[in-house]
């Protein structure tokens, strides 16, 4: 069996064993995870571990989330296809690549320049064309491209940033880890009902790196 075939088989097994059997039922998410090559979004020393269900380092003190959490969070956005999505904490570009197979366009913000550059390169290598990367403070969102149908926040915030809530469409959903401890959070889904009304729902407990920014954690508080 070639290395390419073995990698593809590992990816398909990951989707079956780690995702579908653990309750991920969104067909669009499962299909996207079957097609996006996670090994292209991690550092070469860790390629052999690409389809293990655990986070892996991607440099600059950051990690790529475990596949189950990526699938769980994207499924929680309740995407139907055709949406415009904002991702905060783009990392190496993996979650954006998964989203890109489901939606019309993804805008991803990564605050660390070397990771933003790596994400661009990784997305090109993976053949993804409908993702735009910006290196900036993700807690401020991307106002000139707002409003968004959905926002995925891939880092833990001390509270739900109001700036991001205001960049949702009416009916839009945001999934964001929130907690008073930078190392442990509740995963919150926010739904914007209208200009002044937002519903919040706690989905599960998670552990993410802190969301650094003017409306998040300060660098010296983590």
Active site positions, annotated = 65
The residues, any chain, with a CB within 8 Å of residue 4's CB and separated by 6 or more, are none
Give the count of beta carbons closer than 10 Å to the beta carbon of residue 208.
25
Residue 15 backbone dihedrals phi, psi, to 5 degrees? -65, -40
* DSSP 8-class letter at 54: S
What's phi and psi for 28, nearest 5 deg? -65, -40
**Pairwise CA distance, residues 12 & 173, whole Å:** 28
Report helix angle 27-35 to 3-14, nearest 10.
Answer: 160
């Amino acid at each position: 069996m070639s290395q390419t075939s073995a990698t593809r088989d590992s990816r398909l097994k990951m989707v079956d064993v780690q995702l579908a059997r653990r309750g991920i039922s969104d067909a669009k998410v499962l299909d996207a995870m079957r097609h996006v090559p996670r090994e292209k979004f991690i550092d070469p020393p860790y390629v052999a571990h690409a389809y293990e269900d655990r986070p892996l380092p991607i440099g600059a003190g950051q990690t790529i989330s475990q596949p189950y959490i990526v699938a769980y969070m994207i499924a929680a956005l309740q995407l139907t296809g055709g949406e415009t999505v904002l991702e905060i904490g783009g990392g190496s570009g993996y979650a954006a690549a998964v989203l890109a197979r489901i939606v019309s366009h993804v805008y991803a913000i990564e605050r660390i320049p070397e990771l933003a550059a790596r994400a661009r390169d990784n997305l090109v290598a993976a053949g993804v064309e409908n993702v735009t990367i910006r290196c900036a403070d993700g807690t401020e969102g991307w106002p000139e491209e707002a409003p968004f149908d959905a926002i995925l926040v891939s880092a833990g915030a001390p509270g739900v940033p109001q700036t991001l809530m205001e960049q949702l469409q009416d009916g839009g959903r945001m999934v964001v880890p929130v907690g008073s401890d930078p190392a442990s959070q509740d995963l919150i889904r926010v739904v914007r009902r209208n200009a002044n009304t937002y519903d919040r729902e706690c989905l599960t407990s998670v552990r993410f790196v802190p969301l650094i920014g003017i409306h998040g954690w300060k660098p010296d508080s983590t």
